[in-house]
Structure 1
């Protein structure tokens, strides 16, 4: 066995080799720290992109869902609006029937009334409701359209005095306002 005292160590040489190794290790450590910092920044950027993509996807899903619901509820608005004159004509036909005509043409009149009820039933299945104001009700510009104003005794200004056509709502939207005459009598 060798005695440690017999080993020849050059302390100056040892320190300079150790110093070189330490400097190299510090440089490598700094390089690795820079790589780590770059990797962290890249990770944060990818995380941010991912989160933004997830948010955008969720917004697109909500927008598509809202558009689908609106298409279901209001997609038939144009057709419904085009069918309103058909209802108006049937209603006018029923309203002018006299008792003599009713007795003489019972089957025809019953067919017209049945057609009108069926049309209202179809409207109802598609969320279309009738706005049918009463004479004496207060005029509501959100639901009624004033076709004329007239001074009528025993009424107040803004009271409905005549209903010319009923209105219609489709779900929560106005399809057509009720067309009415309004009193202009100062109250």
Structure 2
């Protein structure tokens, strides 16, 4: 077996040197004399300065991470709100369609219903479809009953009147159905409220 020559052989890029017979490459740039040496820490003042800088950088990093987490949570909340409440304006506009259908059904007499049975069945079915579409988007009706206690969170008092045998502050008439969208009020139910006799 011939002796191997152990003289260094230069590469084309003149940055690495390989030793004949070896698989390792030695990076000449690692031994560059012009590279600035790390400053040596001398004395307790330099150590304290480095520790203060380290604490400041750690504080900034923690604040940046907290801000990024807050941004992520805000973005997630905004996305959820947009999914649930994004159609609020359209839903509010469609409430008048619901109201008009309800008025048509309420205003019809029994004779009119019999004479135009298929027409009123169509209106009723269309209103049910609208309510079904509302429920798919978490829009639910608020339908108070006569005698229910007035709740200012979900009811709007249109008038007050004394009514015998009704306690003050109870619903005596329902004029318009109210609606919720998820857990928020879309429109209050318009009601008449009993006052003190």
Q: Specify the TM-score bucket, using the shorter chain as the normaliser.
A: 0.7 to 0.9
What is the TM-score when the length of structure 1 is the normalising length?
A: 0.79
Q: Which piece of structure 1 moves more, 141-150 or 37-46?
A: 37-46
In structure 2, C-alpha distance between the alignment counterparts of 1:137 and 1:32, rounded to whole Å: 81
Q: CA deviation at 1:108?
A: 1.4
Equivalence for 1:13: none
Q: 1:91 aligns with which of 91, 95, 102?
A: 102
Q: CA deviation at 1:147?
A: 0.4
- Say which structure, 1 or 2, has more relative contact order (CA 8 Å, 6+ apart): 1
List gaps (5 residues or longer) in structure 1.
Answer: 1-28
Q: Which has the higher strand share?
A: 2
Q: CA deviation at 1:36?
A: 3.7
In structure 1, C-alpha distance between the alignment counterparts of 2:159 and 2:45, rounded to whole Å: 81
C-alpha spacing 1:185/1:60, structure 2 compared with 1 (3 Å):
same
Larger Rg: 1
Query: How many residues end up aligned between the 2 structures?
Result: 159
Q: 1:121 aligns with which of 124, 129, 132?
A: 132
User: What do you get for the CA RMSD once the two structures are aligned?
Assistant: 1.9
Q: Which has the higher helix share?
A: 1
After TM superposition, the structure 1 = structure 2 runs for residues 53-92 of structure 1, keeping only pairs within 5 Å, are 53-92=64-103
Q: CA deviation at 1:180?
A: 0.5
After TM superposition, the structure 1 = structure 2 runs for residues 95-106 of structure 1, keeping only pairs within 5 Å, are 95-106=106-117
C-alpha spacing 1:30/1:83, structure 2 compared with 1 (3 Å):
closer
In the alignment, is the contact (CA less than 8 A) between 2:41 and 2:47 conserved in 1?
no
List gaps (5 residues or longer) in structure 2.
Answer: 1-39
Equivalence for 1:6: none
